[in-house]
Amino acid sequence: MDFGKKRKLGVENRSVEALNCHTSSFANTDWHQLSSSLSSWNQPSDTHTLSFPKAANASSSTIGKPVPLNWNLSDSVEKEEIYLSTGPGLLPLSLSNFSSDTEFIERSARFSCFVSNESNAIAETQMQMDIAGKTEALKDKSKLNYHSSNSGSSKKDQSELESPITKKRKSKQEMELHKSQDTAQLPSDVAKNVVDSKQKAEKNSLIMATVKPSGKNSKVAGEAQKEDYIHVRARRGQATNSHSLAERVRREKISERMKFLQDLVPGCSKITGKAVMLDEIINYVQSLQRQVEFLSMKLAAVNPRLDFNIEGILSKDLFQTRSGPSSAIGFSHDMINHQLHSLHQNIIQVGMPGVMNPTEVFRRELNVQLPSTSTFKEAAQQMPNAWDDDLQNIIQMTYGNSTPLKTQDLNGTPHDLFPL
Amino acid sequence: MKQNKNTSSNNSPRKASMQTYHFLRSLTHINLTRPSSPLHRRSRAIRRAAYVSMARAASPRRMWTRAILGRLQLLRRARLLRRRRNYKKKTTISTPHDKLRRLVPGGEEMDFCRLLEETADYAEFLSKQVRIMRSVVDFMEAECRKKEEKV
């Protein structure tokens, strides 16, 4: 029933990932701290057992590693029981690290928030704890560990832990949040990669931190109550209110994007602060738009004098591509052959860095082209449909290896078009 | 105002060149059809062509591309129906992000996080477009000068 559903949802890399992150991050010391901080997992403590964050610091590598959780969840495990079935399965590691059942319970309660499924959540947390307690070596091998743990020892830890939280799980988002949480503590680049990958993988779904307090789950609920999306772990010394957690993730997202924008907008490397940065971005976009408008007016003014030039250029390109394969050297068109050759050469030269190259090329093209403009026009009219592929080839060659118009700006354009 | 028919099935691997291609095509189209129309109209059409070529070259996943292309469709339909509608929506609650929202097409109904993302993408394509246009203008002017010199 639940497990079946959970398996579908949970048996996803992200959830395991999250687990791995957490588990690896947890050191034994944290456990102890946690256990000590929590008298009972039932109590709605706000788990400032934010030893978690410490643990998170300990392990960083686990982040971003999808570990498909094969929830060998025994169906026997019920909601109220802790993820035992799942937990043990995950942890090949001995549970020797558990100092006490109370600790275990506490942790499980805490982690349960990270798991959408009730039992799964508990199991995950438990597993996390176990693994965390185990070694940090698990960080990098979270995948394997999880797999093995899942398949291996099962239900070792079947202790009666209650699954306080009933949440649906979207493992991916869990992982995302986890990662976004952990990233704050982890080296920025790792975090960024994680978050970036997460963001890329995920739609930009906000973290829905909705609290679903249920009786004894209040404690766990307090920790990180997300439903459907992302699980965030509270950092040490920070409020674990679900809203604040979601907000924190959101803030991190925003700051990350601001940094990216900072790189994009020229001359903004030294600016710190969102407000100033925002103003700069607005100014930049405004200036760009004004430039477009101004240039369009200029083009409108210039164009009437050069009626057929553009057409000629394009038709030239057309002929060029049409007549030959992608290598625009083999021109078969008689009347345009040598012109195309020169054009091709010019186009190739365009590939060289520099702003002026295109204009030079165009100039050359025009000069070459002028005598045969009429023929071009006719030819252009004859093959209006061949443009797409041909021009693509031409353009490809033209702007092939190097940046199209400006090297410095368009260097990575083919790849950076959709950076986010 | 002219309408730019940017119908192409380009699968160019070079998106920047796609942008160039679209823009040059629409520019040619503008020049061919009604080259004698008043300057402001042509400039408006060219400006629209610039934005549409930007949007075409960019990913349709983006909100701003959809907004621009949607605006194009609306313009066409509006022109058909000889009606112009203003889509100015005044947001009652003013936030520091309002200005940015107004700048980026389609930025009204996005949360701030998404807005930043869209802004980055939009700014990138905008800068590319500016470069393309500038080079075309330079080329044209050089050409003009050469012609004048010859004469």
Residues of B in contact with A299 (CB under 8 A): 27, 43, 46, 133, 136-137, 140
Q: Averaged over A163-172, what is the pLDDT?
A: 42
Q: Do the beta carbons of residue A176 and residue A202 sit within 8 Å?
A: yes
Residue B81: pLDDT band with limits 50, 70, 90: low
Cα separations in angstroms, A66 against A14, A203, B60, B93: 5, 17, 29, 41
What digits encode the pLDDT tens for the residues A282-332? 899 999 999 888 888 888 877 666 555 555 555 555 444 444 444 433 333
Residue A287's pLDDT is 92
Judged against a pLDDT cut of 70, whether residue B33 lies above it is answered with yes
SS3 content of chain A, % helix, strand, coil (to 5): 60, 0, 40
CA distance A244 to A261: 25
Q: Could you write out the DSSP letters of every residue in A5-17?
A: HHHHHHSSHHHHH
Residue B40's pLDDT is 79
CA distance A331 to A325: 9
Alpha-carbon gap: A15 to the closest alpha carbon of chain B (Å): 24
What digits encode the pLDDT tens for the residues A44-95? 444 444 444 444 444 444 444 444 444 444 444 444 444 444 444 444 444 4
B101 — contact with chain A (CB < 8 Å)?
A: no
Cα dihedral value B70, B75, B81, B82, nearest 10: 160
Average pLDDT, chain A: 51
Residues of A in contact with B14 (CB under 8 A): 395-396, 399-400, 404, 413-414
| Dihedral pair phi/psi, residue A169, rounded to 5° | -125, 135
Considering only CB atoms, A257 lies closest to which of B28, B44, B113, namely B113
A388 — contact with chain B (CB < 8 Å)?
A: yes
Chain A residue whose CA is closest to B101: A282
Q: Do B16 and A410 touch (CB under 8 A)?
A: yes
Cα dihedral value A56, A59, A60, A64, nearest 10: -90
Which has more confidence, A206 or B118?
A: B118
Q: Do the beta carbons of residue A206 and residue A245 sit within 8 Å?
A: no
Chain A residue whose CA is closest to B129: A292
Judged against a pLDDT cut of 70, whether residue A112 lies above it is answered with no
Average pLDDT, chain B: 75
Q: Averaged over A226-237, what is the pLDDT?
A: 63
Q: Identify which of A63-72, A290-299, A335-344, A395-404 has the greatest average pLDDT.
A: A290-299
A254 — contact with chain B (CB < 8 Å)?
A: yes
Residue A196's pLDDT is 47
Could you tell me the pTM of the whole model?
0.43
Residue A260's pLDDT is 87
Considering only CB atoms, A418 lies closest to which of B18, B59, B144, namely B59
Which has more confidence, A182 or A259?
A: A259
Q: Provide the 8-state DSSP code for A412.
A: T
Taking a contact as any Cβ pair under 8 Å apart, which residues of chain B between 12 and 71 contact chain A?
12-18, 20-21, 24-25, 27-28, 30-32, 35-36, 39-40, 42-47, 49-51, 57-59, 61-62
Judged against a pLDDT cut of 60, whether residue A261 lies above it is answered with yes
The complex scores an ipTM of: 0.81
A415 — contact with chain B (CB < 8 Å)?
A: no
Residues of A in contact with B116 (CB under 8 A): 254, 257-258, 260-261
Q: Do A313 and B24 touch (CB under 8 A)?
A: yes
Q: Do B100 and A278 touch (CB under 8 A)?
A: yes
Structure tokens at A77: 């495990």
Alpha-carbon gap: A352 to the closest alpha carbon of chain B (Å): 14
Structure tokens at A401: 């290896």
